[in-house]
Amino acid sequence: ETGVTQTPRHLVMGMTNKKSLKCEQHLGHNAMYWYKQSAKKPLELMFVYNFKEQTENNSVPSRFSPECPNSSHLFLHLHTLQPEDSALYLCASSQLAGENEQFFGPGTRLTVL
Amino acid sequence: AQTVTQSQPEMSVQEAETVTLSCTYDTSESDYYLFWYKQPPSRQMILVIRQEAYKQQNATENRFSVNFQKAAKSFSLKISDSQLGDAAMYFCAYRNPKAGSARQLTFGSGTQLTVLP
């Protein structure tokens, strides 16, 4: 595997389910990001991790819980989501937080029923 | 707060022709970075080109070039000799190089480019 990978690519869940999104980067980067991409809206930054430490939380509801066990892996745990949370969730990485170039994964298309 | 505006939700271009995508931004900073990202149907965001605000020379990457007008806060992308593979959603993005959340990318809402054979 190369670059940034995300699993699953598609996820359908009910509002009472608990699920997790996984992101893995094979680039030796130290910073990882979660973005939310809703239809006809700009990408919204959700979380930033730099050297496994969370450095940004852009007022994301607590039903989204990130986890970064090491610099290569990033998870987004989902719990009691709402239909309006349906979106494409993109993971990205960069050498350091705030570095010019972020490398993106293919995203997870999430549908909340 | 920084904002990025892409006023063209959709654009189309004939194959081999040239198309220009518009982007404007709002900032009080003098030093910053601007980017164009491409998101094809595969959904993977790919960096197309970047521009440092302190550089007067417009960035160029093969068939992709920008027209950076700092005073007007405009950052348009020109795609020359358009190819079918250029069809994608294009996002303009801004980054403030200072520490903290301002360093993160702020994206526009995107322009969907269709390339007609």
pLDDT for A38 beyond 70: yes
pLDDT for B103 beyond 70: no
Contacts of A61 (CB under 8 A, 6+ apart): none
In angstroms, the separation between the Cα of residue B47 and the nearest Cα of chain A is 7
User: Facing residues of B12 across strands?
Assistant: B114
* Structure confidence at residue A58 (pLDDT): 79
Q: Which whole number is the average pLDDT over A59-63?
A: 91
* Structure confidence at residue B95 (pLDDT): 87
A81 pLDDT band, cuts 50/70/90, is: very high
Of A42, A56, A104, the CB nearest to B101: A56
CB pair distance less than 8 Å for A90 and B107: no
- Structural contact between residues A109 and A11, judged by C-beta atoms closer than 8 angstroms: yes
* Structure confidence at residue A90 (pLDDT): 95
pLDDT for B65 beyond 80: yes
Cα–Cα distance, B23 to B20 (Å, whole number): 10
User: Facing residues of A96 across strands?
Assistant: none
Q: What are the backbone dihedrals phi and psi of residue A52, each rounded to the nearest 5 degrees, phi first?
A: 70, 0
**Chain B partners within 8 Å of A40 (Cβ):** 9, 109
A102 pLDDT band, cuts 50/70/90, is: confident
Among A37, A94, A110, the residue to mutate for chain B (most B Cβ within 10 A) = A37
* Structure confidence at residue A42 (pLDDT): 83
The answer, yes or no, to whether the previous bond of A8 is cis (omega within 30 of 0) is yes
Secondary structure letter of residue A107 according to DSSP: -
